[in-house]
Amino acid sequence: MLSRCLPGLLLASLGCSLALASPPQERWNTPYAEKTAALELKGDIVRGESAFVICQGCHRVGALGRSDGSYPRLAGQHATVLIKQLSDVRSGRRSNLKMLPFADHQALSMQDVADIAAYLRSLPVPASQGQGPGNDLARGRQLYERDCQVCHGRQGEGKADKFFPRVSGQHYQYLLREGGLIRDGKRRNAHPDMVQAISTYSDDDNAAVSDYMSRLPMDGR
Ligand code: HEC
Ligand code: HEC
């Protein structure tokens, strides 16, 4: 709690009382109208496929992303996770300036968001994602089982109803980058228990755990 209040010393009393009013465990996923509405709409896979065409330039055909980690794989991700992440970007809770013009309120309706999420969830996930160097997998496994598995699941399958992303099938380089952003407080919508768990990780720890996650089997689907 202390570190949360330090950056804005002048606003510390305000910041801290707000923080006390709403526990961080809830703030990472506070309900807001746009997200709740998109989650309640029924997504249509066929419409979602057409709406996804504007996304393919970056996320690629089949939403397979790029193994250099510049664009994440979206295929097979839970619809709830996709809707939360898109709504968070659209409402300024997660930064993604590159993508925003293609995903903002002018580009996509809430129905489009629900349709795209249903389409992406339905896609197959080939086991051909980018992996890490493979030289520290025992350590990666140890860290994963101790700190991450409770939410991301034994096989990296995540948990749809809790908004925990699937991490199996994802590119190593993307996991590595996001792990760093989460640790350094730059993914503002991240679960505080995860931020806490990863806060003591060195770059080597982050690389080891990301490598391990990128190799989890996709048959946990
Ligand atoms: C100009 C390139 C670009 C376009 C076009 C684009 N995206 Fe993205 N998208 C990105 C980047 C880059 C990221 C990763 C951001 C980061 O590193 O935090 C991302 C991340 C995401 C994520 C979060 C994934 C996760 O695992 O948290 C979702 C969901 C997403 N995009 C959906 C879409 C959809 C749907 C469209 C089309 C409406 C779209 N994107 C169009 C660049 C793009
Ligand atoms: C308390 C549950 C929880 C724990 C523990 C947890 N995570 Fe997460 N993780 C989440 C949630 C929730 C998200 C999505 C965050 C958001 O809302 O933006 C996420 C997202 C991620 C992402 C980004 C995935 C994507 O698709 O963009 C990575 C990488 C990640 N976690 C790695 C880890 C690692 C490594 C650990 C262990 C050190 C860990 N997590 C522990 C809940 C957890």
pLDDT-derived band of residue 218, with 50, 70 and 90 as boundaries?
confident
- 1 Cα: distance to centroid of ligand 1 (angstroms): 31
pLDDT-derived band of residue 21, with 50, 70 and 90 as boundaries?
low
The residue-averaged pLDDT of 200-215 equals 98
Give the residue, out of 139, 189, 191, with the most ligand 2 atoms within 8 A of its beta carbon, to mutate for a pocket test: 191
CA distance 174 to 58: 14
Mean pLDDT taken over the chain? 90
Model confidence pLDDT, tens digit, residues 104-132:
999 999 999 999 999 999 999 988 899 99
Model confidence pLDDT, tens digit, residues 45-75:
999 999 999 999 999 999 999 999 999 999 9
pLDDT-derived band of residue 38, with 50, 70 and 90 as boundaries?
very high
Which residue has its alpha carbon closest to ligand 2 atom 41?
148
Report the 10 Å Cβ neighbour count for 128: 9
- 144 Cα: distance to centroid of ligand 1 (angstroms): 25
Provide the CB-side half-sphere exposure for 47 (13 A, CA).
13
Give the residue among 130, 122, 48, 124 at the shortest CA–CA distance from 86.
48
Q: Residue 5 has what pLDDT?
A: 42
